[in-house]
Every structure is written in structure tokens, then in C-alpha cells.
Amino acid sequence: MNKHTPNGIPHTTPRQSATFTQDINSDIRRAAATGIYDIRGGGAKRKVPSFDDLLFMGASISRYPLEGYREKCETNVTIGGLHAENPIELDIPVTIAGMSFGALSGPAKEALGRGASAAGTSTTTGDGGMTPEERGHSKKLVYQYLPSRYGMNPDDLRKADAIEIVVGQGAKPGGGGMLLGQKISDRVAEMRNLPKGIDQRSACRHPDWTGPDDLEIKILELREITGWKVPIYVKVAGARPYYDTTLAVKAGADAVVLDGMQGGTAATQDVFIEHVGQPTLAIVRPAVKALQDLGMHRKVSLILSGGIRSGADVAKAMALGADAVAIGTAALIALGDNDPKWEAEYNALGTTAGAYDDWHEGKDPAGITTQDPELMARFDPIEGGRRLKNYLKVMTLEAQTIARACGKNHLHNLEPEDLVALTMEAAAMAQVPLAGTDWYPGKPGTSY
């Protein structure tokens, strides 16, 4: 007889709530103990409909494949040919997303430049300005123009191969940045004209323009300052992709960078990361439709980001109409972030490899998201660059493998007709048929 059931009545097994999960309860306890919201890095961790819910069909009798090792499958992409004298020519359609010096160490930025250049693609500055290491090691460098304008100056602007006006980020549409005091080293403080050791908040809106009409004039000013030479991208969070893409194109952008909710950030409120924005899968088709409606698809480039991990993701993004993708988190993992070899140290920080996201605290055992000289010294930018190059090559090979199997001699020739969806949600978002059917929710001419 069980001591809890003295009268012989059986107990039910202990049952965890699907509403009050252990994770949620730990959130509540943390909030109760501190009185402040949780801040972390990374992107949405919840499961959302994603590229994993899509499959390629491959060739069959009705269409024939290309030979994997002999027949060409091109991967090059031109970005910004519409208004700029010198568009960006990339060998592969995978670019490195903007990540700030400050959030990342100088050597980590250098490694991103090295890896991207070796793989024939571009890298991007971030909040906090351009460092000489990064410019020096990046063959193609996109210079971000952010609301904070930390480190912004016309000399660096003219050194850039393209300019990216940042309106929003997928991790936090409508939110600004934050770099907490722990990471404000002398060098970071100097580049941002702020005292050392204080929390730095980056504004969520640009200080000198609001709305699409102003944006058009801002783009004009930047083009005048740079002599109409370099392309101008506009980066928006995946909030209202149809309208934002339309307005960016009307304002004169050469490229639209669209960042879904899985997209990483250096630091923001967890509630923002998990509850604001739309999944990457859901934002591509509306943006492509906007470009098509304006007659600008393939003229204004669409660069998609937010949770891109593999060549399969690249191929799916491109099949849905993107011209290229950008990666942040995956690039950091390739450099060595969250590597299990630091497990003991992750444990000491109260976490585990793969889950470490307190990048804002500056204690990264891998020495990547830190300004601590001792931790930074663990990271070798040459080795990091080599690893990133390898990873970018693999992604490209994977995307080519899929494209050839679909009979395409250029990644850009992948199309929605090559895809099916595994779930109703993915079918509706990607507007490709549910596997085994010729139907998706919202398909024109159907009655659902």
C-alpha cells in the first residue's frame, strides 16, 4: 500500500501543465525575483512554421535533372543594379548579416570578413560603426545606417560597397538596440561617443526621418554623398512585408532585406523576440508579390534572413522568390559559438551548449560575443574565417545539389512549382500545394 493512499484510493500520476510549463514557471520565478524583463540574445526559440515544412519534389518523367558533377549550376547574384553605378556582384547567394562590433569582438568581426571574402560573398557592419579590421578583411562590405548612428561618418560611408538603411530587425520589429554596460570597453565607448560602462540604448526610430516620403529623401541624400556609386538596401523586419517592400521600393531602394522572427539579435527583451513579428516562411511570398506588382521582381533584390541554416533553406528561400539570403546565428555557430567543447563553462554560467544566449553579459566562453580580452584571446580569427568559408561552401553545394535535382542550371531558376508543403500552415504561407494534393489554403479559384 502506498503511503499517500492510506485508504487505498489510487493517486493520479504527477502531471505537468501544458500552460504552466517548467519553462514558464521559471520565467515567473525570475520575474518575481528581479522585477525586470528577461533580456537575451538569439532569435525566437518557439517552434513556428518554417522551411522545414517544405519539400522539393525533384525531377521525374515530366522534367529531367542535371548531372550532379558535370552540368553547371550557377550560384552568382548581382545586388543593386537598379540605381547604383557599382552593383554588388557575389559568387554565392548567402551573405553575412549585420552584427555590431560591440556585440561581437573585433576578431570575430575579422573572421566574418575573412570567411565571407574567401567564399565570394559580402559581410555587413552593424550598430557601432565600421572597424578597420572588418573593412580590411572584407572584400565586399555593406555599411549599416542605423537609428543610433553610432560611429557614423562620411569617410566610412564612402568606403562601403553598399549601404543598408536599417528600419527594423526580425527579432524585434519596432524595437531599438541595447548594449549593456558590461560590454562597453574603452574602444566600444570611443566609437560610440559614450562614457564607458553605461548601458547603451539604440533608438528604435531614425532621428531625422519618419515615413516613406522622408525615406525617399534620405536615400537621395545618401546617394548624393556617395555619388550614386553604391547600392542602397533597406532592411525591415518581417512585420508587414507587402507594404514595407512596396514602400521601400517606391522610396528608391536597390534591395530589400527582410528579416523574419527567427532572426537573431545581440540582446533584446525575450517577450519581444518570442511575440512580435512573423515567421520567415510567412513573409517571403507577400514581399515577392509586392515586387511583382511593381514590376520590380529581380530588379530590386530581395535578401531574406531569419533562421537560415542550410543549403536546403537557401534553395527554399530562392524557390519562393528571394534573390539571396543572409545569415547571422548560423555564422556565429560556424565560428564556434555554443560549441559543446565549452560545456563545463556553459554549465558554470547556468546553461548548456546550444542554449547559451546571454550574449549581452559579455561572458561568452567561445570568445565571440564578448569584449573581455581574455575570452577574446580564445578565438582565432584565421581559423574562424576558414570554418565560415567551409560552411558557406557546404551551404552552396547543398543548394546546388537540390537545384540540379530539380533540373535548374542556376539557383535563381528554382521556383514555387518545385515545392510542396507538409502542413496546411506551410501550404498557406508558402502558397505551394499541400503534399499529395494540388491545393493550398487561399489558392485562387478554390472555395475555402
Residues 6+ apart with CB under 8 A from 176: 147, 148, 201, 202, 203, 204
- Which residues, numbered 225-244, are part of the site for other proteins (CB under 8 A)? 225-228
Give the range of 68-76, 193-201, 282-290, 310-318 binding other proteins by CB under 8 A: 193-201
- Which residues, numbered 39-58, are part of the site for ligand FMN (CB under 6 A)? 41, 43
CA 265 to chain centre: 8
- Does 307 interact with ligand FMN (rule: CB under 6 A)? yes
- Which residues, numbered 135-164, are part of the site for other proteins (CB under 8 A)? 148-149, 152-154, 157
Of 57, 66, 82, 180, the residue at the interface with other proteins (CB under 8 A) is 180
Partner whose binding site includes residue 308, from ligand FMN, other proteins, none (CB under 5 to 8 Å by kind)? ligand FMN
Given a contact cutoff of 8 angstroms between Cβ atoms, the answer to whether 365 and 342 are in contact is yes
- Minimal distance in Å, beta carbon 147 to other proteins? 8
Nearest to 114 by CA among 394, 325, 389: 389
- Structure-block grid coordinates of residue 150: 553610432
- Minimal distance in Å, beta carbon 302 to other proteins? 27
Partner whose binding site includes residue 101, from other proteins, ligand FMN, none (CB under 5 to 8 Å by kind)? none
Cα-based distances in Å from 251 to 11, 119, 213: 66, 32, 7
- Minimal distance in Å, beta carbon 163 to ligand FMN? 13
CA distance 369 to 198: 18
Of 6, 7, 14, 224, the residue at the interface with other proteins (CB under 8 A) is 224
- Does 144 interact with ligand FMN (rule: CB under 6 A)? yes
Partner whose binding site includes residue 263, from other proteins, ligand FMN, none (CB under 5 to 8 Å by kind)? ligand FMN
- Which residues, numbered 346-365, are part of the site for ligand FMN (CB under 6 A)? 359
- Does 281 interact with ligand FMN (rule: CB under 6 A)? no
Nearest to 202 by CA among 103, 270, 273: 103
C-beta closer to other proteins: residue 203 or 271:
203
- Does 279 interact with ligand FMN (rule: CB under 6 A)? no
- Does 328 interact with ligand FMN (rule: CB under 6 A)? yes
Partner whose binding site includes residue 227, from ligand FMN, other proteins, none (CB under 5 to 8 Å by kind)? other proteins
- Does 262 interact with ligand FMN (rule: CB under 6 A)? yes
Cα-based distances in Å from 125 to 120, 147, 314: 17, 14, 22
- Phi, then psi, of 250 in degrees rounded to 5: -65, -30
- Does 208 interact with other proteins (rule: CB under 8 A)? yes
- Structure-block grid coordinates of residue 348: 558554470
Amino acid at 168: G
Partner whose binding site includes residue 166, from ligand FMN, other proteins, none (CB under 5 to 8 Å by kind)? ligand FMN
Given a contact cutoff of 8 angstroms between Cβ atoms, the answer to whether 126 and 98 are in contact is yes
- Does 195 interact with other proteins (rule: CB under 8 A)? yes
- Does 218 interact with other proteins (rule: CB under 8 A)? yes
- Structure-block grid coordinates of residue 243: 507594404
Q: Residues interacting with ligand FMN, by CB under 6 A?
A: 41, 43, 97-100, 103-104, 126-127, 144, 166, 169-170, 235, 259, 262-266, 305-308, 327-330, 359, 369
Residues that bind other proteins in the complex, under the rule CB under 8 A = 34-36, 148-149, 152-154, 157, 180-181, 192-195, 197-199, 201, 203, 207-209, 214, 217-218, 220-221, 224-228
